[in-house]
Amino acid sequence: METISSQLAGGLDTSSSPNSQQELQPYTGSSSLKPNQVSETILYGVPIVSLVIDGQERLCLAQISNTLLKNYSYNEIHNRRVALGITCVQCTPVQLEILRRAGAMPISSRRCGMITKREAERLCKSFLGAHSPPKLPENFAFDVSHQCAWGSRGNFIPARYNSSRAKCIKCSYCNMYFSPNKFIFHSHRTPEAKYTQPDAANFNSWRRHLKLTDKNSSDDLAHAWEDVKAMFNGGSRKRTLPIGGSEGGSCFLIIIM
Residues that bind Zn ion (CB under 5 A): 171, 173-174
Nearer to Zn ion, 113 or 154 (CB): 154
Nearer to Zn ion, 162 or 190 (CB): 190
Nearer to Zn ion, 131 or 182 (CB): 182
Nearer to Zn ion, 48 or 183 (CB): 183
Please give the sequence-ordered ranges of beta strands (E in DSSP) within the chain, or none if there are none: 3-5, 38-43, 46-53, 56-60, 89-90, 113-116, 142-146, 152-156, 169-171, 177-178, 211-212
Shortest spacing between CB 152 and Zn ion, in angstroms: 6
- Going by C-alpha positions, the residue among 204, 184, 244, 238 that lies closest to residue 84 is 204
Shortest spacing between CB 178 and Zn ion, in angstroms: 8
Shortest spacing between CB 228 and Zn ion, in angstroms: 21
Please give the sequence-ordered ranges of beta strands (E in DSSP) within 91-234, or none if there are none: 113-116, 142-146, 152-156, 169-171, 177-178, 211-212
Tell me the backbone φ, ψ of residue 40, rounded to 5 degrees: -135, 140
Nearer to Zn ion, 166 or 171 (CB): 171
Shortest spacing between CB 174 and Zn ion, in angstroms: 3
145 Cα distance to chain centroid: 20
Shortest spacing between CB 244 and Zn ion, in angstroms: 27
Shortest spacing between CB 195 and Zn ion, in angstroms: 16
Contacts of 119 (CB under 8 A, 6+ apart): 84, 86
160 Cα distance to chain centroid: 23
Sign of the dihedral through C-alpha 121, 122, 123, 128 = positive
The residue at minimum Cβ distance from Zn ion is: 171
Nearer to Zn ion, 74 or 173 (CB): 173
Q: What's the CA gap between 175 and 210, in Å, rounded?
A: 17
